[in-house]
Structure 1
Amino acid sequence: MSMREKIEEAAARYPDQRSAIMPALLIAQQEHGHLPGPILEEIADILGVERIWVYELATFYTLFHTEPIGAFHLQLCDNVSCMLCGSEALLKHLEAVLAIKTGETSPDRVFTLSTVECLGACEMAPVMQVGDDYYGDLDIGRIDALLARLRAEAGQVIGGADTAAAAPPGE
């Protein structure tokens, strides 16, 4: 089923097409890896809504990416609970180990590092989200073990015979 068909099917569940923008963004991002301008415009055209409405949602929510991201998106919470439990030191460690700054993607495109305001998991502080998974009670040792595991996974995903297929779309 094409992206258009998936979006139209999702939109049919809503009485107002504007309400279908978020599901449409999720469908498009799942298919393309990120949401560049032409994709956002296509979504607006499919739904018959103002383009600005699509752009507003795509740029407001941290789950949507208008630029390509690495195979693993590391989102470290920097809210008060996590900060008090050491997230600032963990962020410095991640930046040093990955040799990138917050908001950047590693040259090998394995990791993108971001901070987020709150992951809603204060009981696990400091906490980081990678994809759909949460990792809590973090310290440098746990971060290093997680990075090693993710690098091993990336070797299977990205380093295999079909490297071009594993690269994010649009590259």
Structure 2
Amino acid sequence: MKKESCDAVVDQILAHYEHRPSALIAVMQDVQAQYRYLPAEAIEQIAEGLGISVAKAYSVATFYENFSLEAKGKHIIRICDGTACHVRRSIPILEALRRELGVSEKKKTTDDMLFTLETVSCLGACGLAPVMTLDDKVHPAMTPEKALALIDEIRKEESADA
């Protein structure tokens, strides 16, 4: 990402919120929606634009789990590993996806930046366990085979769009 493009995008978002410090979370959400994460340059620009310390901006960015300081893939996959999903075998789904995507617990995003695979403690759909979300769409009663089929479907769509 070019610094100039980050500057312009963040400036526009800050202006939308009239540079109000109370809008810090909303500003960060909008910036993350643009880049799929919060770039360091953007956090510094947000702090300056809102008249707050960079430390305060970082403390908010690291406190809330929905903010990411690392670039994420175009498609976000979340596997629930809460109690209901875990006992209904969410781990084999996670392992199958990790193998297929070439990611791990530490390396969550594919090299082509197409997918990010995350585990979450609960997706709030325990009656549908095991549950996976793909771009915030809930996929209930998931199996490793169904999960891999969804990945294949996305890859075909991406190839057709290219």
TM-score range, shorter chain: 0.7 to 0.9
Q: Partners of 2:32 and 2:68 in 1: how far apart?
A: 8
Aligned length: 154
- Cross-structure match for 1:144: 148
Q: Displacement, 1:103? A: 4.1
Q: Displacement, 1:108? A: 2.2
What are the equivalent positions in structure 2 for 1:61-76 lying under 5 Å apart? 61-76=64-79
Q: Does 1:123 align with 2:127?
A: yes
Q: Is the 8 Å Cα contact of residues 93 and 143 (structure 2) preserved in structure 1?
A: yes
- Cross-structure match for 1:163: none
Q: Partners of 1:72 and 1:51 in 2: how far apart?
A: 29
Counterpart of 2:43 in structure 1: which amino acid? L
Deviation string, structure 1 residues 110-132 (Cα, Å, up to 9, x no partner):
21111112222212211122222
Q: Partners of 1:11 and 1:134 in 2: how far apart?
A: 35
Deviation string, structure 1 residues 73-103 (Cα, Å, up to 9, x no partner):
2111111111111111111111122222134
Bigger mean CA offset, 56-65 vs 106-115: 56-65
Q: Does 1:37 align with 2:44?
A: no
- Distance change (3 Å), C-alpha of 1:32 and 1:144: closer
Instruction: Report the TM-score when normalising by structure 2.
Output: 0.83
Q: CA RMSD in A?
A: 2.1
Q: Displacement, 1:51? A: 1.9
- Distance change (3 Å), C-alpha of 1:69 and 1:2: closer
- Unaligned stretches of 5+ residues in structure 2: 1-7
Q: Partners of 2:65 and 2:139 in 1: how far apart?
A: 18
Amino-acid identity (%): 30
Counterpart of 2:47 in structure 1: which amino acid? A
